[in-house]
Amino acid sequence: MIDVLAIVGPTASGKTALSLELASRLDGEIINGDSMQVYKEMSIGTAKIEPAEMRGIPHHLLDIKEPEEPFSVAEYQTLVREKIAEISSRGKLPIIVGGSGLYVQAVLFDYRFTEEQVDEQLRAELHAELEEYGPLHMHEKLMALNPEADIHPNNTRRVIRAIEIIKSGHEKTDRKLALSPMYNEVIIGLDMQREILYDRINRRVDDMVARGLLDEVQQLRERGIRDVQSIQAIGYREIYAYLDGEMEWAEAISLLKQNSRKYAKRQFTYFRNKLPIFWIDALADLEKNIQKIEAFMQEKNRQRRIGIIEEQI
């Protein structure tokens, strides 16, 4: 049987609707797969599902951190693997849903952390920054810290490690991603034409503003929350810049939309390069997509049974 189902895709691609339908049909429980939806008081800007929309389906790892607390990939890996075991023990199907590819990858595959660690908050901030801004931004950050660093911009791993060493003063650390999966997993990816996705993203931002994004960010700012990992998220740093007088409102919203579109593009690149995904058309008929997913899961189970039998022979 499938141990874990994951649903990934860029922002505004329809992951929530699909996950609710699959969880309802497959007797599943949903685990948050978004690195920013773990934070309390940050619901509008992270497009967090509202309790009234959950259809009675349990959702895990939402609102588990205060906005000023750090959150790392290593901590997420531990928490989610515990949740997978807990949900499975009840005979339910764990379904991870989100757009943070690195986090999902660290759970489903043999992604190991060395004993020697750099500052966890620094590490989490750098990886969140990489996922949202991209490799070129991180290389420029390194050059500002050490103009003599001889590392190619595309060598993201070395760039990140170099920044960690400079900013933390620690020795080098390493992570190893093994190819072997930790579970009999199925990863579903939602795809759509970029022009349509970008239009959906723009409209989502407008909806966030209408629902009170400014008030949400103002409340965080009034609490004195700044220069922490959570506020690096798209939708928060742009509004902070507006509230700090660094740009006009229209400019902040335009930048928020632009950054969201760029992030979606990087999400697609990460998913396609790093994860074995079964892609479906996000705009296709929901019922047909459900049938395709169920057929794919059945075929993977069949292949697994054949593999087990061959090992026993």
pLDDT in tens, 21-69: 999 999 999 999 999 999 999 999 999 999 999 999 999 999 999 999 9
pLDDT of residue 113: 63
Instruction: Give the range among 18-22, 66-70, 208-212 with minimum mean pLDDT.
Output: 66-70
The token pair at 303 is 């292949």
pTM of the model: 0.81
Q: Kindly report, residue by residue over 73-87, the tens digit of the pLDDT.
A: 889 999 999 999 999
Is residue 233 located within the same domain as residue 87?
Answer: yes
- Please tell me the distance from the alpha carbon of residue 284 to that of residue 223, in angstroms, as a whole number: 44
The answer to whether the CB of 15 falls within 8 A of the CB of 190 is: yes
| Confidence tier at 170 by pLDDT (50, 70, 90) | very low
CATH classification of the domain holding 294: 3.40.50.300
Last residue of some domain: 173, 197, 223? 173
| Confidence tier at 13 by pLDDT (50, 70, 90) | very high
Annotated binding residues for ATP: 9-16
Whether 141 shows a pLDDT value over 70: the answer reads yes
CATH classification of the domain holding 158: 1.10.20
Q: Tell me how many domains the chain contains.
A: 2
Annotated binding residues for substrate: 11-16
Whether 114 shows a pLDDT value over 70: the answer reads no
Annotated binding residues: 9-16
Whether 144 shows a pLDDT value over 50: the answer reads yes
List 279's β-bridge partners, or say none.
189
Q: For residue 153, give its domain range.
A: 115-173
Q: Kindly report, residue by residue over 176-186, the tens digit of the pLDDT.
A: 444 589 999 99
Whether 123 shows a pLDDT value over 80: the answer reads no
